[in-house]
Amino acid sequence: MSNTPLRLLPWTTPEGNPCYLSTDRDDSRLSRLADDVEADQLDSGEQVLAGARAVLGDPKAGERAVRFALTRATESLEDVLRVAVSRGGRVRVGGGG
């Protein structure tokens, strides 16, 4: 059995439960797919943030636009937090200086 901690994947089950990966290889096919999905989620988060800032900066933006921006921002924040938790769990604390 491996001593490698489980990796939190950047997606959930259809029921919304977390998915984990157990592997000794950071370059496994599923690890690389997860890396790509995380990168896409972070890129999307940057785009959503820019859009939300534009909506919030527009004094004529209506309730519908603000609610849409907030909904997308909430979804992106959830993705980014999952990436942060996953990456935080994989940080190796080394003994070297």
Tens digit of each residue's pLDDT (9 = 90 or more) over 28-80: 999 999 999 999 999 999 999 999 999 999 999 999 999 999 999 999 999 99
* Dist. CA 88–CA 92, nearest whole Å: 9
- Which DSSP helix (H) or strand (E) runs through 26? none
Q: How confident is the model at residue 93 (pLDDT cuts 50, 70, 90)?
A: low
Q: 31 and 21 in contact (C-beta within 8 Å)?
A: yes
- Which DSSP helix (H) or strand (E) runs through 42? helix 29-57
Entry pTM: 0.82
pLDDT score at 2: 55
